[in-house]
Structure 1
Amino acid sequence: MNETIKIIKNHRSVREFDPEKDVSDAQVKEIIEAAMAAPNWVNGQQVTVIEVRDPVKKSTLSEAAGNQRWVKEAPVFLLFCMDFYRAKLAAEKNGTDFQIVEDLEAVIVGSTDVGIAIGSAVIAAESMGLGIVPIGGVRKNPKVFVDLLNLPEYVYPISGLVIGHPRTLPGQKPRLPLKATYQKEKYDANVQMDIINQYDETISTYMSNRTSGQDSSDWSSKIAQFYDKGFEQYAKNTSPTIKHQGFRYQ
């Protein structure tokens, strides 16, 4: 196993950062360059990253993301946006209609490109010994991010990434067995429930050990609850803000 794969497979989300250690501008530049080197659709490069270090801004964004304190406590917060503003300028320069934003395809493309970019950024940061945690909570109150960071039309915040030096490293959370997530030639739906039952036991034990017995919840119950009522604030704010930014899919 090479060093890159070791880094990837050793990933864990960090939420406790050393306040005495900063992340240098040079490190952030390397991380962003790695993110931008990632594949993207039609070389449209539909991603823009905004670095935020200002304590006042980070505090506001931390609250907007669901009171995730690590957003303000870590030295660097990166906001990853899907960005079709440059594509709009390209259309204007060449006298063509800008039709992609009329279709859901734009959101799929932009979100995919952000996902690929943020994955590369995670690997780059962790290769430096830094800790990270992605912040999907930016979509709880996306308009705050749009307004505070001056995002123009056709730019929408998809996810944040907190970066700093770990103060503590959590245990690695078990993943679903590959039999569930890696299949050959065709999708086998018949294996999924048995695997979920087994995985629920694994996660329940992991949570109990991690919380000294205070929480023994399993995977399926958490997922079921979140996709029932837990995502309501995202549903309330995501679509209106995307459309406010110019994406007019039906």
Structure 2
Amino acid sequence: MKALDVLNNHRTYRNFDEEYQLSDEELQQILQASCQAPSWMNGQMYSIIVVKDKKIRKQLVELNPGNPHMLKSSVFLVFVADLKRTQKVAEHYQVDYPINQGIDPLITAITDTALALENAVVATEALGLGSVIVGSIRKDIAEVSKLLNLPDYVFPVAGLSIGKPIVEMRVKPRLPKEVVIHYDTYQDYDYQLIEDYDETMETFAEARETKLWSKKFADYFGRTPNQKIDEFLKINKFFQD
């Protein structure tokens, strides 16, 4: 498929043919495309855990039962921000590694990881397959990290279920361009545009959505953020106590 067609027709799939087996060639094509993503200074500050083991995937679902596709998809990838590699480099050159004194190194690594993840999504769709990103693996981040044997300086960002879809999905409407696209400087906009989008999404009527788009995020960000993330980042040497 042409790149623009793939990008403009992106859909998230959560229901996969459990009998379909992703070929090794397809998997390697996806991984290669992922590894060719842009990265800061060519640092490539991420790693990809290819989870084929059904026992591990079953345990992931037990931790996160709302995402059974982690077991039922053909393969499950976990994208992790990886500052362990650069820590090894620092040790080799016998220099300090004070990344816990600021947030920028973590932002850099998470950005690299997100770019690699998006390349994997695009490659998957170019092969005629489907995927769903699983950010909720961070809900039980310490348990997931232990299950995948992740060392310190490594942070699980998101998972990716890949497989052959069995339920067709529609292309989901996006926010009005006036809300998202700004030229030269950030421009404020009328809140009516968000209310218009609420109406658009109500009309779209995705079955899994039970709230207005705006109310969903008002409720989400109205809660205290997941404190397990903060604890994990301190324990794994990303931040000082």
Q: TM-score range by the shorter chain?
A: over 0.9
Q: Does 1:31 align with 2:18?
A: no
Query: How far apart, CA to CA, are the structure 2 residues paired with 1:52 and 1:174?
Result: 32
Task: Indicate the SS of the match to 1:163.
Answer: strand
Question: Match for 2:48: what amino acid?
Answer: V
Does structure 1 residue 205 correspond to structure 2 residue 199?
Answer: no
Count residues with an aligned counterpart.
241
Counterpart of 1:142 in structure 2 is: 141
**How many percent of aligned residue pairs carry the same amino acid?**
32
What amino acid is the match of 1:240?
E
2:187 matched to 1:219?
no
Q: What secondary structure does 1:11 align onto?
A: coil
Q: Deviations over 1:149-185 (max 9, x none)?
A: 1101101100001100011121221100111111111
Q: Deviations over 1:182-219 (max 9, x none)?
A: 11111111x14121011011011112xx44xx966321
Q: Which runs of 5+ in 2 are unaligned?
A: none
Aligned to 1:160, the other structure's residue is in SS state strand
TM-score w.r.t. length of structure 2: 0.94
Residue 112 of structure 1 corresponds to 111
RMSD across aligned positions (CA):
1.7
Structure 1 pair 66–246 and aligned structure 2 pair: CA distance change class (3 A): farther
Which position in structure 1 is the counterpart of 2:222?
228
What's the counterpart of residue 60 of structure 1?
Answer: 59
Partner secondary structure for residue 161 of structure 2: strand
Residue 238 (structure 1) aligned to one of 225, 229, 235: 229
Q: State the one-letter code of the partner of 2:159.
A: G
**The residue matched to 2:199 in structure 1 has which SS?**
helix
> SS in structure 1 opposite 2:76?
strand
Shift of 1:65: 3.2
Distance 1:169 1:187 in 2: 37
Name the SS for the 1:205 alignment partner: helix
Residues 55-110 of structure 1 show CA distances to partners (whole Å, capped at 9, x for unaligned) of: 11101112323531111111210000000111001001111101223311122111
TM-score, scaled to structure 1: 0.91
